[in-house]
A and B are shown apart, each in its own frame.
Chain A
Amino acid sequence: MGERLAPPLEARAQAVAARAVELVVSSLDVNALVDRIDLNAVLSQIDINALMDRIDIGKILDRVDMDTVLDRIDLDRVLSRVDMNRLMATVDVKALVERVDVNDVAQQVDVDGIIRKVDIDAIVDRVDLNEAAQRIDVDELVEKTDLGAIIARSSSGFAGDLLDVIRGKAVAVDDFIARAVARLRHRPYTGPPGPPGPRRPDVSPPDQLPPAGPASGEPNARTPS
């Protein structure tokens, strides 16, 4: 008889217990309960290292589809939030460079390929050769090269030198007078300008040319004499 009564009682007891749990849970304020829990105290009791040791990161990563993850990342947005200056300030560039094997890098560079792609004409067009020529120390160049010997072989003799000196003296006096006149007129002396046209073989240095007027500026190719 006892065996016949047990199952119904047990089932009823379980139903009562389930009902009681349901009533308890529904009456619980979970938020209030969580607020009362000191999570820091709980976490301090957890051995994170032991926990991590038990986690097989590799297995987790195997299950992650990295492509899908990366597809969902907006890299532009991420990069826009990165302070590159601050980032670069933390980088020890010197140490980084020291670690780079420049020879090895250079050997891997296809210099011929790069040169083939370079438009030399475009580069030359952008170079102000006149300005570059003005920077050349002719005295030093002649002293250090055989250019002097070449010029000496191709130029005139003592009479020619004398002629150069006479002309040079005349031009120097011209210059002196022009400076004196400019001083009297309270005007800055900018050197003798010249007429436009194909007379001047060079562009004079900036301190020798006036800023405006028909005489200023045009580079010329033909020599008159």
Chain B
Amino acid sequence: MTARTEDAIPPNPPAVARDSYQGHYAGFVSRFLSFVVDMIVITAIFLLVLAAIWFSAKILTGTNIAFNHGSIWVLIGYVIWAFIYFARSWGANGRTAGMALFGVQVVRDDGGDVSERRAALRTLVFPLSFLFLGLGFLGIVLGNHRRALHDVIAGTTVIYCWDARAARLRYLSRN
């Protein structure tokens, strides 16, 4: 329970919230926006870690480490960090931070939970969908099951996991 001021006006209700889409295949926009948020989170954390390393090195050793954005080591570090972020998040509960924000979740194509192994495979093949101008993502828009290329290879899919109906009830209860 959270304290709310009486004059706080809730925003407009979710447009599609009359029927809960929970458990249905997630669309392109929800998935893309969650990916954007994930990239922001990944980059922000990575930059923070680099800054922490730079600061620690300067304090402890007095040396000034200059991180070059074009450095191969920085790039490798970034890719490894991104792999850990996605693989661990999907393997743990099927959601990254961005996916949690937009209420989507990775599941097996039969609806079951994604294992660590499958999550790692999905992360590995994820870049394939970006090839040929992102042709691998076309399946999300055109396919009946809204699966991208990496989904098909890893045997996964993405679903909505938030209850729009409950959101609608919450909105109604405040008006």
> Known interface pairs A152-B174, A157-B4, A201-B163. Does A165 touch B11 (Cβ–Cβ under 8 Å)?
yes
Expressed in whole angstroms, the Cα–Cα distance for A164 and B33 within the complex equals 15
List the B side residues contacting A213 at CB < 8 Å: 144
List the B side residues contacting A211 at CB < 8 Å: none
Chain B interface, number of residues (Cβ within 8 angstroms): 61
> Known interface pairs A193-B144, A204-B19. Does A148 touch B173 (Cβ–Cβ under 8 Å)?
yes
B117, CB-defined interface residue at 8 Å:
no
A170, CB-defined interface residue at 8 Å:
yes
The stretch that binds B, out of A14-22, A42-50, A171-179, is A171-179
Cross-chain contact B14 with A165 (CB below 8 angstroms): yes
Interface string of B156-173 (1 = CB under 8 A from A): 010111111111111111
> Known interface pairs A157-B4, A161-B11, A195-B110. Does A151 touch B159 (Cβ–Cβ under 8 Å)?
no
Interface size bracket, A side:
35 or more
Cross-chain contact A157 with B15 (CB below 8 angstroms): no
Cross-chain contact A165 with B12 (CB below 8 angstroms): yes
Interface centre among B3, B20, B144, B166 (most CB of A within 10 A): B144
Q: Which of A117-167 contact B (CB under 8 A)?
A: 138-139, 142-143, 147-158, 160-167
A215, CB-defined interface residue at 8 Å:
yes
Q: Which of B1-52 contact A (CB under 8 A)?
A: 1-4, 8, 10-30, 33
The stretch that binds A, out of B83-91, B97-105, B122-130, is B97-105
List the A side residues contacting B14 at CB < 8 Å: 164-165, 167-169, 171-172
List the A side residues contacting B105 at CB < 8 Å: 224-225
Cross-chain contact B167 with A205 (CB below 8 angstroms): no
User: Which of A166, A178, A197, A214 makes the CB contact (< 8 A) with B107?
Assistant: A197
Cross-chain contact A192 with B161 (CB below 8 angstroms): no
Give the distance to chain B from A136, nearest Cβ to Cβ, in Å. Answer: 11
With both beta carbons as reference points, the residue of chain A lying nearest to B34 in the complex is identified as: A170
Cross-chain contact A167 with B23 (CB below 8 angstroms): no
List the A side residues contacting B102 at CB < 8 Å: 166-167, 170
User: Which of B27, B157, B172, B173 makes the CB contact (< 8 A) with A175?
Assistant: B27
B92, CB-defined interface residue at 8 Å:
no
List the A side residues contacting B111 at CB < 8 Å: 194-199
> Known interface pairs A149-B173, A161-B10. Does A204 touch B17 (Cβ–Cβ under 8 Å)?
no
B112, CB-defined interface residue at 8 Å:
yes
Expressed in whole angstroms, the Cα–Cα distance for A163 and B172 within the complex equals 15
B142, CB-defined interface residue at 8 Å:
yes
Known: A171-B14, A204-B24. 5 other contacts (CB 8 A): A149-B173, A150-B173, A165-B11, A171-B16, A199-B22
The residues of B with any CB-CB pair to A shorter than 8 Å are 1-4, 8, 10-30, 33, 94-95, 101-103, 105, 107-112, 141-142, 144-146, 157, 159-174
